A and B are shown apart, each in its own frame.
Chain A
């Protein structure tokens, strides 16, 4: 017993150095941080970055809000950034320490969730659209009709990823509404379309990369990065459609925590990832775009031109960010979602 106690005491003594010199604690989505990027950062600055994973915005928020988390940087999604700001969990960035801030692409500078980029800098962004195997269906794929008025060729072969915000908002866009709408007529139209279309869907499941790649599904409401992998796996059979009625965009951004203990190191890291060659490393790993101008030049050839990553000019206008909805809109959305899942 004594041995166990001594061993435990020893271990406690050696692991309690959260704020040691040259350390940085990054709290990020799992499988989202390129280890090569961290190696390069360490080689340049001598700062070791420790990554800890989370798998949902809510989990990350709950942990940090409880206090004493020991993290320095966090990477929340766009619709969660205002919550982090409002709760006072993240601080305004000191631009004098961020020489590379000018590298943020102009369209990502003045974003709705953080006007003027006072609190956050871009990490990665992507879109939700519709992946279709064009060998099965040859018609127009840039429309939400694919999953709301399923064409005969795709009946019983299309999947819808079970993400409430994406699915319900795409139906609302299709019905001519705005995200977070409280307009009952629009909501009813969206709801009716979803309920009527559901019998034509094969499933509401994740795992689209796999199922599209091995042609189990002929189509799916899906994310862009995943669709790109499926396109490569099927040698171009699977294509990505941007619904003209409107499709959701998402972005995860890096923010500095108020109770960060390694503030100087954190600034160095934030500045580091805004250099185009470093931002390209982030994209190379997770296969999403990053929001830093000039990073395309450093990306692998297949990403530079991928129509899933670089949104074609004619589809840009239909992309919209989902804001943080009010309680009423949230309630409507949840009601539609619950009914759809029955």
Chain B
């Protein structure tokens, strides 16, 4: 039945390639997880099974504080970024084309184009001046910085969703005397929700993951999980790092599963 047309799955060597790619993608992660249960000090020599490194990581206050800080920043930044991105997406799709629209796309997506280190150095200098002038050293800088570079990641899925949505539904609502707010609240927003959730998840993960900008912007006592882990590299690495990474991995898997279940229901 499906003999006609081009199908990737029917190319010779498809299965082999797929298996190899999956091995390349997941084998290092399995190794990392396996060694988090290593009883010895080493990240490469197996010394028996143990939960010791999990206990150690759990008891490590620096790790705990860094985790909480990472989550606070990721939740706030993805919240702000998604809100702004949703408004921007509505503003750029639900209206007639206007002059300078392409320029606006480029500007919104700027953090995707500019190398991260450039943004980091610019923010370091800019925020340093504010820090000196105001004396304020709090988490606000990190939240703002993260929000800024998370915006395009939230914007792209929301815009894609909006562009794929059938305009006739909104037109029909307007024909039936719905006010523009009612149309938005009862027609556009529910249809858009999967896009918004996807954008928010993406922004959350990107923020949780960030090293370069965080390293430059952080003030005293503001190590996040990734910058903490980076700091460990120069000394000896122990399976504690594997245990923390596995925890982070588990969190991501839970989030992705939740996201999958949520969006499936909506469809």
Contact = CB atoms under 8 A, between A and B. Distances in A.
Interface of A: 1, 4, 7-8, 11-12, 14-16, 18-19, 25, 27, 29-32, 35, 50-55, 59, 62-63, 66-71, 209-211, 213-214, 226, 229, 233, 286
Interface residues on B, range: 35 or more
Interface in B180-238: 215-216, 218-223, 227-228, 230-236
A59 B215 contact: yes
Given A4-B83, A11-B139, A68-B131, A55 B233 contact: yes
A213 B45 contact: yes
16 contacts: A1-B83, A7-B76, A8-B140, A12-B140, A19-B135, A29-B234, A30-B231, A31-B235, A51-B221, A52-B218, A52-B219, A53-B227, A63-B124, A66-B124, A68-B137, A229-B236
Contacts of B76: 4, 7-8, 11
Contacts of A62: 124, 216
B129 A67 contact: yes
Nearest to B121: A62
Given A8-B143, A210-B42, A53 B128 contact: no
Interface string B61-75: 110000000001000
Interface of B: 41-45, 60-62, 72, 76, 79-80, 83, 124-125, 127-132, 135-140, 143, 215-216, 218-223, 227-228, 230-236
A70 B234 contact: no
Contact of A54 (B42, B125, B231): B231
Contacts of A229: 41, 236
Contacts, number: 121
A210 B72 CA distance: 35
Contacts of B235: 29-32, 286
Contacts of B230: 30, 53, 55
Contact of B130 (A55, A68, A210): A68
A32 B234 CA distance: 9
B221 A52 contact: yes
Contacts of B221: 25, 50-52
Contacts of B127: 68
A11 B236 contact: no
A53 B214 CA distance: 12
B257 to A, nearest CB: 25
Q: What 7 A-B pairs are tightest by C-beta distance, nearest first?
A: A30-B231, A68-B131, A53-B231, A50-B221, A25-B220, A66-B128, A15-B138
Given A31-B231, A70-B137, A18 B219 contact: yes
Given A15-B138, A210-B45, A286-B235, A70 B79 contact: no
A54 B232 CA distance: 9
Given A4-B80, A68-B130, A27 B220 contact: yes
B236 to A, nearest CB: 6
A226 B236 contact: yes
Contacts of B234: 29-31, 55
Contacts of A69: 128, 131, 219-220
Contact of A30 (B42, B43, B136, B228): B228
A63 B216 CA distance: 7
Contacts of A14: 138
Contacts of A63: 124, 216
